Structures are given as structure tokens and as C-alpha cells.
Amino acid sequence: MTMEQRADWSRVTDAGWVDEILLAGPDDQVCFRVPDPIDRATLRRLVAERRDRLTAAGLRPGGAAALRLPPSIAYVANLLAVWQLGAQAILLDYRLTDHEVEQARQRLSPQVIVAPLRVAGGLRVFFEVEDTISRHGDEPAGSEHAVVQLSSGSTGPSKVIGRTAADLIAEIRRYTQIEGVALPGERIILLPSMVHVLGLVGGLLYGLHASVELVPPQRLTGDSILDAIEAVDSPATVLGVPFHINLLSSTAQERRPRQLRRMITGGELVPVATAARFIDRFQAPLGNMYGMTEVGVIGTDLDGSHRPSVRPAPGITVRARDGELQIAREVSPYLGVAVPERWSEGWLRTRDAGTVDDATGLVTILGRLDSQVTIGGMQVDLAEVESSIGALPGVVAAVVLFDEAIVAYLQLEPGHQVSDVEARLATQLARFKQPQVYQVFDQFPRTTTGKLVRDRAVLRARAT
């Protein structure tokens, strides 16, 4: 069953898309629980207030506003207000340093920057924010994109990526056609940041459009996530990244909420053993979503029946060329200097290794394309090594790189040792595939989206 919800897509225009796609609906319909409910009438009022403030600060149609806000109602209201004004929203993770923000400002030239004056919330997923607006110029936006994002930077410097209102509308529509997503009247327990694509479109924009309540837990702990699931009787889908699976799995075994419909993760591959532990623990499906900042959702397996494969999302064309997954896209998503090595002749290179089954259309993600190395004349797939290590008991996180030798960076559960990993791996992989060096972190370095850092220089520096 598909869910074509509310909008008449044929009459949606860029000018009115926020009101038609995101804010339409009965005044008393709850769209957020933080934990008190916020209905559509309240949200529309907050958006109108922010729109007036942004206008007074100097934001004009065709201009750009940089949002440096943590996940909050203030962030949501400012984002929708910027789009209502016909301006571009530049999304900056609130955890960036002042130096990184200044670099982004010089590169993207926003007319205004919205930043937190005061933040309350500690370890919350959603924060209470008092925001302030500073004016920085009168230049128009550098492009006609509705949103500009920075890539996660898990493998190196961030790229600047733009998406138009039409791109966002098309992706919201794709979500309505995917079987297994949260349905009207249900809830999304929202864990990923709304600055990045999974939380932004898969959580915020889809939830507002589809009349699905968005529920950030009070704190970023496993028990708090379960509290949010159990708070009301309606079915709940947990949206997160693999990091959040471990949070949930750390909770008391007797807590198995009947409201939990499924969990959906994106961002990186989930080890088979981790998935099995979650399913056994909660007796609920663990779905997989594959996507990129440049495109949004690419493929899904929301029942977990094809792991590690996914089925392309409606309207998405995927092919494999020389072992790399590529996505059909008419124009380059990158701003500024052309990036021909990433987009050419209508195809976006994902840098992910994978295959496409001609018979079923299923896409299998095999890891990063640069994971193939030659050692002593023997071909080694580092993704295979990493997957094997990640499936071992006691391994919380693992990244395997080649740095003059095969190096495994690990986070282990308390009581487990590297010697345990080495002994078990020796029974599973040929000797030439086994890491020569192990580095262990108490907490594995992660990007702002929760992905494991794969930048060799960062890991090497952190390890020393």
C-alpha cells in the first residue's frame, strides 16, 4: 500500500510549497511533542513571528539565511520562515566551531545568521533555544537552491550541496510511496539531527506533510527513547542511525514497548550481529535506509528482509559501473567549483561499492569504493574485514583502513580485549586479510550526524 497524502502534487508551486505541503491541516492537529504537544496553529504562529523578525533583520526574497541552531522548535520555525520568504536556508550544524562557521559565511555569503543566544537542555535530542539574528550583508544567494547543506565529512572535507524546493518536494513524495514508513496518526521518534538529510526530510518534512507526530525523546539515552515510545498508545517508528541501536539495546530486557512498530536506520551499514540482537531484543523489524545528502533517500528495506540490500525508492534509478553505485541526476548537486569526478553526464558517483541485481532490482551496498587494496600481490577488501570485525562479540564500532598496513580502529564493550578480536578473526579470515595494527578508543570518533569518522588523519591523530 502506498500513501499519497493530502497534497495535489500537480498544483504545488515553489512559492507556496511550505504552506501547501508542510503547514496545511487542522489547527488542533498535533505535529510535535516536546514533550508538551504543539499543534499546527501554534506552529504557524511561530513561523509567522520568525518571518517578521527575519524580514526586520534584512532577509529578502532571493537572499540567504544561515541557521546555526540545535534541533529545536526555534530551528523548525526559522527554517520554514526562511522558505516562506522565498530565501535560501544554509544549514550549519550548531556543533561547528566559530572558525568553521566563519569559513562557511565567507564561502556562502548569507544576509543573516540565526544563532542561539541561550540553549537549555543538556543531553537532550531537542533543545529549548532563545535565538538571535545578526545581519551580514545584502548579497543575493549564490544559487536558486532552497537549502544548502554540508556533507557529513566522514571521509574528508565537507562538500557544499544544494537542493531546490522541487528536489525536496519530490523526495517528500517518494516517502509517501514507500511501504513501511510511519502513517498519518502514528509517531516518529526522531533521533537524527534535522540539519542533515535523514532527520530533515525523512523526519521533519515528511512528518509535517504526512500528519505524523514528531517526538524527540527528552534525553539521548536508551531509557528516554523507550519512555517516548511508551508515552502514548499510537504506533511509533524510531528513526536513527546505528549508534542509536546500541543505546536501545543497553536498556533493561523487560522493557519491550508494544507501541514500537519498527526502527529505521540510515548513515552506515549495520553489522548483521547488531541487527540480530535488536530484533531478538524488541521483536520488531529493523529497517535500513540508504541515501546521500546530494539525493536524499535512494533505497530502502524497511522490514530488514533484504539486508544488506535495498530496493530503489520510487523515481530513483541506480546502476553499478566498475563496481561503483551511481545515481541518475540531471544536474550536479554541488555548488561552486565543478566536481566532475563526482557528477558527470547525468550520473552521480556515490563512491560506494555495490551491485544491482538485474532480476530483482535490489541494490547491495558493499562499503566504500576505496576499500580495495593490494597487499603482497593479494587483493583485500577492507569492507569485508571491517564487516567481519563488526560482527564479533564485544565490538561496538569498527573502521578498517590501509595506512602502510591494515589498521583496525575499534571501540569494545567493557571486559573485551583486542586479543579476543584477534583470536576470533583468525578463524574467519585468511592471515593476509587480518589487521596488523589495532587502535582502541573508549568512544569512537563520530561526525555530527553520528557516522563513524573514516578520515585517516583524524583517526591517526586521535589514536596517538
Domains defined along the chain, listed by start:
1-370 (3.40.50.12780), 376-463 (3.30.300.30)
| pLDDT, position 373 | 79
Residue 228 pLDDT: 95
Q: pTM (2 decimals)?
A: 0.83
Q: Who contacts 365 (Cβ-Cβ below 8 Å, separation ≥6)?
A: 269, 290, 308, 309, 310, 325, 352, 353, 354
Tens digit of pLDDT for each residue in 420-447? 999 999 888 888 889 999 999 998 988 7
Average pLDDT value for residue range 311-315? 95
Confidence of residue 13 (pLDDT cuts 50, 70, 90): low
- 157 has a pLDDT exceeding 70: no
**For range 398-414, the mean pLDDT:** 90
Q: What angle do CA 168, 173, 174 make, to 5 degrees?
A: 95
Instruction: For 329-358, write each residue's pLDDT tens digit.
Output: 999 999 876 667 889 889 999 988 889 999
Tell whether the model's pLDDT for residue 154 goes beyond 60: no
Question: Contact at 8 Å (CB) between 146 and 165?
Answer: yes
Q: For CA atoms 199, 195, 216, 233, give the dihedral sign.
A: negative
Terminus-to-terminus CA distance in the chain, angstroms?
A: 53
Comparing 115 with 308, the larger pLDDT belongs to 115
Return the amino acid letter for 236.
Answer: A
Summarised one tens digit per residue, pLDDT across range 260-282 is: 999 999 877 787 778 888 999 99
Q: State yes or no: pLDDT of 307 exceeds 60.
A: yes
Q: How far is CA 68 from the centre of its chain?
A: 17
Q: Which band of pLDDT confidence, cut at 50, 70 and 90, is reported for residue 299?
A: very high
What pLDDT is attached to residue 7?
A: 58
Q: Is the peptide bond before 340 cis (omega within 30 degrees of 0)?
A: no
* pLDDT on residue 411: 92
The cell numbers describing 396, all together, are 561496538
- Cβ-in-10-Å burial (0-12, 13-18, 19+) of 44 comes to middle
Distance CA 300, CA 273 (A): 20
C-alpha 17 chain-centroid distance: 23
The answer, yes or no, to whether residue 156 has pLDDT greater than 50, is no
Q: Is the pLDDT of residue 258 over 80?
A: yes
Neighbours of 36 (CB within 10 A): 7
Residues of the chain with pLDDT > 70, as a percent, come to 92
* 222 pLDDT tier (thresholds 50, 70, 90): very high
Taking all residues of the chain, what is their mean pLDDT, rounded to a whole number?
A: 88
Tell me what pLDDT residue 184 has. Answer: 96
